[in-house]
Structure formats: C-alpha cells, structure tokens
Amino acid sequence: MGSESKQGEKTRVLVVGATGYIGKSIVRACLAEGHETYVLQRPEIGVDVEKVQLLLSFKKLGARIVEASFSDHQSLVSAVKLVDVVVSAMSGVHIRSHSILFQLKLVEAIKEAGNVKRFLPSEFGMDPPRMGHALPPGRETFDQKMEVRKAIEAAGIQYTYVVGACFAGYMAGGLCQMVALLPPKKKINIYGDGNVKVVFADEDDIAKYTAKTLNDPRTLNKTVSIRPPDNVLTQLELVQIWEKLTGNELEKTNIAAQDFLANIEQMEIPQQAAIGHFYHIFYEGCLTDHEVGEEEEAISLYPEVMYKRMDDYLRMYL
C-alpha cells in the first residue's frame, strides 16, 4: 500500500531530526513513498551550513519546511497540526547529541493538537523494553526511550515503534570495530569467539521500512522489527565477507568479555556508553536472542523492499 488513504489523499508526514544521521534517509524515503513530507526546521540550526544545505536539498525534492522550536510549545502544536503522522529521528547516542527526552515536548504538542494519527518516536536500534539490565551509562538511552514510550501511551497517542538493527554505516563498514568506520587493513579485534548473531541494515533500508510502516493499519500500536534474514550475521561472518571481497585475510585477536569491559570506569561517558552497547550486541546477542513474529517483522510485511545485503554494502569500501 502506498501513501494513498481511502479518500485518495496522501499521508502527511512531519520528520523531526530531519538533518540528522537517520533523519535525512527517512525524509528521502517518505518522499519516494509518495507521502506529503514536512521537515521541522529549528532556530538552533544557526550557522550550521551543512544542515541548512540539507534542508534546501529536501525542499528541492518536494519537502515542505516548517519552522518550530522545542522552547516554543505553540510553534510545535502548529507544526504537528499540519500532518497525520510525526516521525522523530532525534539522536539517541552519546557520541552525538543525546536528545531523546526532547521528544516529551513533541508528545505534549501532539496531545494538544489532537489530530495526529500516529507517532513514531526515535528508536531504530535495540528494543528498549528488553534492555532493563543494560550497563550504565549506556542504559540511559533505553531508560529515556522507555520514558518517551510511557508518555506516548499515557497520552493515548497511537504509535509504531521501529526497532532491531545495527546501522551499517556505524557497524558494518568498520567490521564492528569500536573506533573505526572503515575496514581495517591488517588486524582486527573479534568480540569473544565472534559467533554471536547480529542484525545489520543499510540506513536507507531502515528508512524505507519506516516510510512504509507509518500509515500501515497492520502496524498500528505495534513494534516492528527490522531483521533482514540475509543480514543476520556474526561478526566473523561479516569479516569473512570482507576477506572474500578483498582476497586478504586479517590477523584476528579475540577479546574476552572481561577484558572488553576491563577499563570502562576510566573512560569518558560517551565511550563508556558505546562499550556497554557493543557488549550487549556482540557478547550477549541482544538483537537476536528473541523470536519475532511474521506480523511484526518488516521484511515479511514489505517483501517488495529489496534490502541491501552486506556483501553488496561492503563493496562500497573496496
């Protein structure tokens, strides 16, 4: 089903965090899906020229720019009154601008406006209700996402939560190395025995599934997991894909869990958070340690999306 509702009208979507890492992909995917797409421009943009240029590029593609500020409640109410669906892509990682709780202001505005049919808060990663045991300070991400979910549900706002995958740009490109986004040339650290299953997804594919799910009656008030079967791989399998592409074998060092966590207290908060998240993904297998029903799985819901496989994805780095 495309963007046409019963009356033949397009779904109107507002993307918040549109110039961010996943946000820009979501804007493009919404436009490609035929949604009437609005992007929120906040006064905080100031002289951030890259963000301004991104907004102008969205305008060229047919998006509409709406001005509003998180410090002006009425401006947010006016912005959300323009649309049927609000999608938030605000940053939830400590190495960027951890701003999950700003969404509580969006919840207030949506509640007051009263016209929004669905809200998709910023999720897209590990499923927060499963992460109650997470290590601090990284668990703050999940605690705050849960706080936002509780506020959404308490306000009686309809929702879809999109979860389940590692962003390929952060995780696959560097073959899961903590401090690199490009594949190593000679040596690589392997987490534990390297055999824990992880889910990888191209950011543009995550955005495509998001654009399809946001007005789908089947996903109303549901959690949708992105778990492309061919991209459910162990770290070693990902490394082997790269070795096959390059014809070059990397020298591997296995890092035991206790060594991986050894010096965590001495690190800066963003690094501590990242180590915790890596630990849950690569040692505990938090993305794959539970079943997902077909009706909650993006790939079963939208088989028409030809998602990018990781061998294809890694070719970019050759």
Bridge pairing between strands 197-201 and 232-234: antiparallel
What pTM was computed for the model? Answer: 0.95
Tell me the pLDDT of the chain averaged across its residues: 95
| Residue 7 token pair | 């009356």
Q: What is the pLDDT of residue 3?
A: 54
CA separation for the pair 208, 118 (Å, rounded): 17
Residue 145 appears among annotated catalytic residues:
yes
> Using 50, 70 and 90 to split pLDDT, how confident is the model at 45?
confident
- Mean of pLDDT values over 257-266: 96
pLDDT digits (tens, 9 = 90+) for 67-103: 999 999 999 999 999 999 999 999 876 666 678 999 9
Q: What is the pLDDT of residue 9?
A: 79
Q: What is the pLDDT of residue 95?
A: 63
- Mean of pLDDT values over 28-45: 94
3-state secondary structure of 71: coil
CA separation for the pair 257, 278 (Å, rounded): 11
Share above pLDDT 70 across residues of the chain, in percent, rounded to a whole number: 96
Bridge pairing between strands 85-88 and 64-67: unpaired
Q: Going along the chain, which residue ranges are E strands?
A: 12-16, 36-41, 64-67, 85-88, 118-120, 160-163, 166-167, 187-191, 197-201, 222-225, 232-234, 251-255
> Using 50, 70 and 90 to split pLDDT, how confident is the model at 1?
very low
> Using 50, 70 and 90 to split pLDDT, how confident is the model at 5?
very low
CA separation for the pair 242, 244 (Å, rounded): 5
Share above pLDDT 90 across residues of the chain, in percent, rounded to a whole number: 91
pLDDT digits (tens, 9 = 90+) for 111-147: 999 999 999 999 999 999 999 999 999 999 999 999 9
Type of residue found at 159: Y
> Using 50, 70 and 90 to split pLDDT, how confident is the model at 296?
very high
Q: Going along 142-298, which residue ranges are E strands?
A: 160-163, 166-167, 187-191, 197-201, 222-225, 232-234, 251-255
Residues 6+ apart with CB under 8 A from 13: 30, 35, 36, 37, 38, 83, 84, 85, 86, 87, 211, 214
CB 38 within 8 A of CB 15: yes
pLDDT digits (tens, 9 = 90+) for 165-188: 999 999 999 999 998 999 999 999
Q: What is the pLDDT of residue 8?
A: 60
Q: Which of 145, 208, 212, 308 is catalytic?
A: 145
